[in-house]
């Protein structure tokens, strides 16, 4: 891989039975990039995220820079029936953070996302926006070099969406590379430095954000941008 490349895919294909979820995808993620994955439902966005994160078997090759620290935040974060504090401490234990560092990191993470006052509450009774901020706190606390986000604001109200977007932007400003799937094109424009458009498991467009939104696109991507492309299930 070239200098500054964190993850690279070559000819990656993913099949689920007879269904081809990704087809011959080449992609490289570089340090400091903020990549938005866009496309209709079923286009392969989440599958690509899982491959990049190393959590899905595939044909083709995946390269990674050294012992790369990664974390992933889902649209609906999985929270245990524990307090906010213990959900965070368990994540740090699973990430093999030394015991002496766990409490300071947990305190810093909760303060970072505005949940310091909620540490004793059951995580599952938090609002949707608070749960997503807790998921971001867990990710931030392990100090990943790459953060993967799967529709991180899709189920949130506008206020909670703004809060989560602000945190994502701040994490990126600290040097974290981001790869995010989203149906919100405004969000892609606000947060991404690069946009990938997928359709039917194929990577159709890969451009800097300004070029994606301001220059002519292939017809399927242009229709998607106009909201005219039918969405598959």
pTM of the model: 0.91
Tens of pLDDT, residue by residue over 97-130, are 999 999 999 999 999 999 999 999 999 999 988 9
Low-confidence ranges of the chain (pLDDT < 50): 230-233
* E-assigned strand segments in the chain: 5-16, 19-30, 34-38, 59-64, 70-73, 146-150, 177-181, 194-199, 202-208
pLDDT of residue 74: 85
Strand order in the sheet with 5-16: 19-30, 5-16, 59-64
Give 78's Cβ-side CA count (13 Å radius): 3
Q: What is the model's pLDDT at position 232? A: 46
| Predicted local distance difference test score (pLDDT) of residue 159 | 87
- Which pair of structure tokens corresponds to residue 200? 């039917």
Q: d(Cα 94, Cα 5) in Å, to the nearest integer?
A: 26
pLDDT of 1 reads 58
34 close to 178: Cβ distance less than 8 angstroms: yes
pLDDT for res 224: 86
């Amino acid at each position: 891989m070239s200098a500054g490349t964190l993850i690279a895919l070559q000819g990656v294909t993913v099949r689920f039975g007879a269904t081809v979820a990704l087809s011959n995808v080449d992609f490289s993620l570089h340090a400091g990039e903020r990549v938005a994955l866009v496309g209709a439902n079923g286009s392969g966005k989440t599958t690509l995220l899982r491959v990049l994160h190393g959590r899905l078997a595939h044909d083709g090759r995946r390269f990674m820079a050294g012992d790369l620290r990664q974390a992933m935040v889902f649209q609906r974060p999985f929270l245990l029936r524990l307090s906010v504090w213990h959900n965070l401490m368990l994540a740090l234990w699973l990430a093999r953070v030394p015991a002496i560092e766990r409490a300071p990191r947990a305190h810093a993470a909760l303060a970072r996302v505005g949940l310091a006052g909620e540490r004793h509450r059951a995580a599952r009774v938090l609002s949707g926006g608070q749960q997503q901020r807790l998921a971001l706190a867990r990710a931030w606390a392990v100090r990943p070099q790459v953060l993967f986000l799967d529709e991180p604001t899709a189920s949130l109200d506008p206020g909670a969406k703004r809060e989560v977007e602000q945190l994502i932007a701040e994490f990126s400003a600290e040097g974290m590379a981001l790869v995010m799937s989203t149906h919100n094109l405004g969000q892609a424009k606000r947060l991404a430095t690069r946009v990938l458009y997928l359709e039917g498991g194929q990577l159709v467009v890969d451009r800097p954000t300004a070029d994606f939104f301001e220059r002519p696109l292939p017809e399927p991507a242009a229709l998607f941008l106009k909201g005219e492309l039918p969405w598959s299930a």
